[in-house]
Structure 1
């Protein structure tokens, strides 16, 4: 054990040195931000300001080629006690960033901060914005599952084509899209704002950005909220391609239970098994004859498996699915697929892959991916293969992957961890691993909650804890052992309609 601790101390010293080297030896001037009116109407209506910041393409070459980050700022309310700057760490899974400054109006205690939203590098309206193949999520794609001999070959070809297109779209940008690059951008934003310390608010995949930033710049963080944290020991092949499958499948079946419990509204069956039979029959039907000639098994799976992520989607998707089953009309499904998976989404998908494919290595041989997908599909038949192909461009990604930063919890900042117990994307093990690392942390768990992401919420229990922390830095009292330090009851199930 002593040898392990000694090795960890060496790594910790190296990480601190790496994180502070640029600041100690820097001779180049800090860029400035000019704030002005926002062209984005949502930001403008909220009273936010917008600006840009030039940052190095390659932070190891600070005087070289520059990128332009798009920023937004929502200033603190004069009537509140000023708490400093709060940077919303960009979430690559959702493409979130530019409008994240609006969180300051949505969170209890948030109005004491100057909130900063950042459109992370590669994501519009930052420049350049990465896009590889806007038609990649077309209609009537091959079935995700290898139910026909050609499915696997077709998907391997599609994945290779997408990765190749990304390499051709912006070969200079791709090697500089790692989480470490985003963390360096955040520190440039902090410096440009003229503050020594910043607080961080991070959700979902953005929590890994926060974890890495706090590791590389441990003295620059005042407070940090990590909502639905990613386990830093599992990035990214394990976390995104393996850990999520069974949890998301479980939540999909909980959606079936909810449909069954609301049979008076949806008329699809009164038991989980009955709903499962309807689902299986519809998948078979659109496999044989895509609805409207467009909605095949991949598209239907993409739409309905949004439900394991967000309970708020249950009434809408339940109603659309029921209408499709009873009438055969797929118009609503077609419209929703266009909105969720086609309009402007290639930029988000490309930028997401550019980060997750290069943060850490993925298996290079397809046999490993196939074997893992086959094993996962025994527990998660509706989720595993779609998840596999979503992440598969990482196997042939044209930019080299790095080794992930060891997140050791070195920061002296206080950390509030927020966790939904049944989150399928970020299971509680990630938050618990961070609670063990961060000595000045506390974990709040919402029991029975399914949705990915705890906040913003109307839950008074969550908001009481969060409001106390944002307003004063007060954390729940830390309990002994590996346990949640505060607990909230499950939110009510969505109302059918």
Structure 2
């Protein structure tokens, strides 16, 4: 079988062969359940022996998807060969694509390499070395080579393909909130079809796209670069990945900033918690929109704005516009609720539809059916379902009922781990997170982040003794360090990365509050 490159004509060594084509119960009760689950996580395995150093990566030109940094900085790309299954290192191999923006400071300032991960699971990190680095404090840019990487299954690292994924990419898609027995049966059938589609195309990799395997890929990157420790800025899912690395390689764990932390729970439990946090965030959005009624004209109080919102959703359910139906609407709402700077666009989009029936303002900037989006959605399920046991179909429906009792019109877009109920490979254990043998890490959280609720950071900290939590109070967005422009957060995290300064206690920084309007 012919070998192929991860991007054309730039293979520094033979590439892997292509895969075959067929290749709110109440909130308190929920949190108590999740806390108990966290306590039952298995202990981290013994520190593995240091592997033989892989070949030094040959850095060269990057694919066009990686933006060019501002001069005089430069970005370069390479690949690191890793086993598909780390428990069988002499078996089939895949390649992990990496990017590097070298430190801009003097040799005396250099602190090593800083891996960065943008989240997901499924987010491509290759361009993130450029885009995130541009926002980092100058002292960090001067001190670290910033290393982006596409985790296995994403981007240019053995990209996953689950095909139609049970109709996920249908346009317009079915209403993602099932109401009534017939709709619930159809909803479960779509989950089963999604799992079947992934098995049909990716059956041979189902056990190997777990966070544990990705953490070992990170260690291979460290070794290939000749570094003694792995430093990481992990955002959202990147925080979960950092905690998994600390569990597996506590003695090789360097300075890690875990931002917008995913809690130490089964993925499905996390998804349920997130879905209910989104309800609180949407209520806050309704009240905020009403407070600016002269700008948005959707209603003078939160109840009126909610009615306007439901008129939009009901209208798109009955009569989708150019393929934009209830599923696409909920995806747009999910995306907007996570970042307050997107709230104006969401409110404007609701108003535009009610005025003239257009949806252009509501559509996300990137098309859902783009190749990158399809890879993201496939890799997301492959990783979540490889990380631990899935729910039962009965529990899925019970949780939807409970959520709909709290609000009849929830946003269930983030419930990706529901697919794991029908997964064709059942993991033997949960992904271990954290270790008492790891050095203190720095956790960062927004007080009202609906995507990764702050409960996750508080729970994960218990598995990382000596670690500290920076909370951005009075903030409602996902992604904090080198993202929200908060001096308190950025200076505290930079001092930790540069000098290893761990705060003596947890840190509270004053947040911006709700946004203004333009």
The verdict on a shared fold, with TM-score over 0.5 as the criterion, is: yes
Aligned mate of 1:114, from 139, 145, 152: 145
How far does residue 190 in structure 1 lie from its aligned partner after superposition? 0.8
Q: Given the alignment of the two structures, is residue 279 of structure 1 paired with residue 313 of structure 2, yes or no?
A: no
**1:33 paired to 2:52:** no
Confirm whether residue 466 of structure 1 aligns to residue 497 of structure 2: no
After superposing the two structures, state which structure 1 stretch, 39-48 or 320-329, moved more: 39-48
* Correspondence for 2:350: 321
Aligned to 2:479: 453
- Out of 321, 332, 344, which is 2:372 matched to? 344
**Where does residue 294 of structure 2 map in the other structure?**
264
Aligned pair partner of 1:230 in 262, 265, 269: 262
Deviations 1:302-332 (A, max 9, x none): 2223232111211222212211111112344
Asked if residue 188 in structure 1 is aligned to residue 220 in structure 2, the reply is: yes
Structure 1 residue 355: deviation in Å?
A: 0.6
Q: Secondary structure at the match of 1:317?
A: helix
For the Cα contact (< 8 Å) 1:37–1:49, is it kept in 2? yes
Kept in 1, the 8 Å contact 2:461–2:468? The answer is: yes
Task: Kindly indicate whether the alpha-carbon contact (under 8 Å) linking 1:252 and 1:307 is maintained by their aligned counterparts in 2.
Answer: no
**2:177–2:410 Cα contact (<8 Å) kept:** no
Q: Is the 1:119–1:125 contact (alpha carbons within 8 Å) kept by the matching residues of 2?
A: yes
Task: Call closer, same or farther: CA 1:31–1:400 in 2, change over 3 Å.
Answer: farther
Q: Give the whole-Å Cα distance in 1 for the aligned partners of 2:276 and 2:369.
A: 23
Contact kept in structure 1, 2:150 and 2:157, CA below 8 Å: yes
- 426 and 267 in structure 1: CA distance in 2 versus 1, 3 angstrom threshold: same
Distance in 1 between residues matched to 2:437 and 2:260, nearest whole Å: 19
User: 1:38-437 residue pairs with structure 2 within 5 A?
Assistant: 38-40=62-64, 42-46=66-70, 47-79=74-106, 81-89=109-117, 91-93=119-121, 95-102=123-130, 103-108=132-137, 109-111=139-141, 112-133=143-164, 136-147=168-179, 149-232=181-264, 234-240=265-271, 242-292=272-322, 294-333=323-362, 335-336=363-364, 339-340=367-368, 342=370, 344-364=372-392, 366-383=393-410, 385-388=412-415, 390-437=416-463
CA drift of 1:90 comes to: 5.8
Change (3 A) 1:274 1:115: same
Q: Give me the whole-angstrom Cα distance separating, in 1, the residues matched to 2:345 and 2:368.
A: 14
Tell me how far 1:70 sits from its aligned partner: 0.7
Q: 1:338 to 1:433 in 2, by over 3 A?
A: closer
* C-alpha contact 1:35 1:51 (8 A) present in aligned 2: yes
Distance in 1 of aligned mates of 2:103 and 2:302? 48
Aligned to 1:5: none
| Aligned partner (choices 499, 507, 518) of residue 486 of structure 1 | 507
Find the residue that maps to 1:339 and give its secondary structure. coil
Deviation, structure 1 residue 214: 0.6
In 2, distance between residues paired with 1:159 and 1:329?
31
Q: Distance in 2 between matches of 1:282 and 1:90?
A: 32
Offset of residue 149 of structure 1? 4.9
CA-CA distance at 1:114 after TM superposition: 1.1
Deviations 1:337-393 (A, max 9, x none): 8624655311001101101112110123x11210111112222443354444x4322
Describe the superposition over 1:70-90 as per-residue Cα deviations: whole angstroms up to 9, x where unpaired.
Answer: 100111113471111111246
Q: Is the CA contact 1:295–1:330 (under 8 Å) kept in the aligned structure 2?
A: yes
Secondary structure, counterpart of 2:462 in structure 1: helix
RMSD, aligned CA: 2.4
Instruction: Give, in angstroms, the shift of residue 474 of structure 1.
Output: 1.1
Match of 1:482 in 2: none
CA distance in 2, matches of 1:249, 1:172: 38
Contact 2:124 / 2:154 at 8 angstroms: preserved in 1? no
Distance 2:462 2:412 in 1: 33
Residue aligned with 2:251, SS: coil
Deviations 1:406-429 (A, max 9, x none): 435323423111110111122222
How far, CA to CA, are the matches of 1:187 and 1:273 in structure 2? 51
* Gap regions ≥5 residues in structure 2: 1-38
Contact 1:132–1:165, Cα closer than 8 Å, also in 2: yes
Q: Which has the higher helix share?
A: 1
Deviation at 1:475, TM superposition (A): 2.2
CA–CA separation in structure 2 for the residues paired with 1:494 and 1:96: 29
The answer as to whether partners of 1:291 and 1:330 remain within 8 angstroms in 2 is yes
Residues 433, 336 of structure 1: alpha-carbon distance in 2 compared, 3 angstrom cutoff: closer
Distance apart, 1:128 and its partner CA: 4.3
1:42 shift after superposition: 4.1
SS at match of 2:157: coil
Q: Tell me which moved more, 33-42 or 344-353.
A: 33-42
2:442 touches 2:502 (CA, 8 Å); kept in 1? Answer: yes
Task: Say if 1:387 and 1:122 are closer, same or farther in 2 by CA, change over 3 A.
Answer: closer
**Which range is displaced more, 206-215 or 304-313?**
304-313
Number of residue pairs the alignment of both structures matches: 471
